[in-house]
Amino acid sequence: MPEELFEIEESVPANPVEQYLRMDRMPHIWCPGCGIGTTVNCFARALETSGLDLDKVAIVSGIGCTGRVAGYIKLDSFHTTHGRAIPFATGLKLANPELKVIVYSGDGDLTAIGGNHFIHAARRNVDMTVILINNGIYGMTGGQVAPTTPISAVASTTPFGSFEQTFNLPFLAESCGAVYVARWTSYHVRHLTKSIKEAIAKKGFSFVEIVAPCPTLYSRRNKIGDGLDQMIYYKDNSEIKNGADTKTVSMEFQGKIVVGKFVDRERPTYNDAMMEYYQKKLGDKFVSSDEMRKAFHAQNRN
């Protein structure tokens, strides 16, 4: 009898995303109904079809609930300081341009404390993909107001609701120079998976904003239900508008969410600009790093 059970278990196919996760670290810390796990699933599926050599993919997170993603993904993974995932990733990428570098972090981490790094990495067009989970709140510390908290939404540090203007992140990313900008919600798993795959394949600073629920600290406090209620809200209120002018995609409390791929354009990356500029300017005197030379020539062959 026990043997028979064993055989049945063996015949169950493994969850295809498990190979991309550190299963020895499960269960994860995220709350029931939280959107982060869903996005990690999409990310793993995007990796699966990306055709990338996973030994050459690195993931960098900052601090916060989304900051924990790096700890669960089975890649070279770096859980850095609050707000500083992007400059860490910049150093990593410039040291070894062969690496595919992905930053995966939250709205507070990347656009409040890390906002300056975000705009400068986009300006430089450092070749990295930034996946940002926007849950409109600081989750890990107990639900404080964020630059993304909609006006009138209640947070623990805005007990009467927030009155600050919120960040329109796709507009911010586009105006700073990102070459790929998309927004989805954690309801749009197929679109999101495709978008992450595209962003990872894109050369340059690519940005995917994912609107995701924080049932414990945002939805509950704002009396808008649980994780499932938020999925229904996303489903009923999202409007797919590929190519939308990012100026027009601001979000409001429980209002319409414009999603889609907004920007997909070409600009020389930081590395390529450096290589080309120095080659022109310094001629034979220019000695690039071995890694930089290898990556540059590999790209130009493609």
Partner 1 sequence: MHADPIGVLTGPHFIDGDHACSEGAISAGCRFVAGYPITPSTEVVERIAERFPTVGGVFIQMEDEIASSIAIQGAVWGGKKTMTVTSGPGFSLMMEHIGFAAMTETPCVFVDVQRAGPSTGLPTMPAQGDMMQARWGSHGDYGIIALSPNSPQECFDLTIKAFNLSEQFRVPVMMMMDECVGHMIERVVIPAAEDIKIYPRRYYEGTKEDYRPYEPERDLVPQIVKAGDGYKIHVTGLTHDELGYPNMSVSTQGKLVRRLVDKIKVNAERIIEYKEDMVEGADVVVVTYGISSRTAIPAVEQARKEGMKIGHLRLIVVWPFPEQRIRDLASKIKAFVVPELNFGQISLEVERCAGGKASVTLVGHAGGTVHQPKDIYAAIRKSVKG
Contact residues for partner 1 (CB under 8 A)? 22, 24-25, 55-56, 58, 60, 70-71, 74-81, 84, 87-96, 98-99, 116-117, 120, 274, 278, 282, 285-292
- Report the distance separating Cα 82 and Cα 260, nearest Å: 29
Residue 228 vs 282, nearer CB to partner 1: 282
CB atoms within 10 A of CB 122: 25
Residue 224 vs 274, nearer CB to partner 1: 274
Residue 253 vs 278, nearer CB to partner 1: 278
Strand duo 76-79 + 180-185: pairing: unpaired
SS (HEC) of 44-100: HHHHHCCCCCHHHEEEEECCCCHHHHHHCECCEEEECCCCCHHHHHHHHHHHCCCCE
CB of 287 to partner 1, least distance (A): 5
CB of 141 to partner 1, least distance (A): 15
Please report the sign of the dihedral spanned by the C-alpha atoms of residue 281, residue 283, residue 285, residue 286: positive
CB of 280 to partner 1, least distance (A): 12
CB of 297 to partner 1, least distance (A): 15
- Report the distance separating Cα 105 and Cα 150, nearest Å: 19
CB of 243 to partner 1, least distance (A): 30
- Report the distance separating Cα 120 and Cα 185, nearest Å: 26
Residue 266 makes CB contacts below 8 A (sequence gap 6+) with 179, 204
CB of 2 to partner 1, least distance (A): 30
CB of 58 to partner 1, least distance (A): 5
Please report the sign of the dihedral spanned by the C-alpha atoms of residue 31, residue 234, residue 219, residue 146: positive
- What is the end-to-end Cα distance of the chain in Å, rounded? 57
CB of 19 to partner 1, least distance (A): 11
Residue 97 makes CB contacts below 8 A (sequence gap 6+) with 127, 271, 291, 292, 294, 295, 296
Residue 57 vs 137, nearer CB to partner 1: 57
Residue 46 vs 99, nearer CB to partner 1: 99
- Residues 179/204, Cβ–Cβ less than 8 Å: yes
Residue 17 vs 224, nearer CB to partner 1: 17
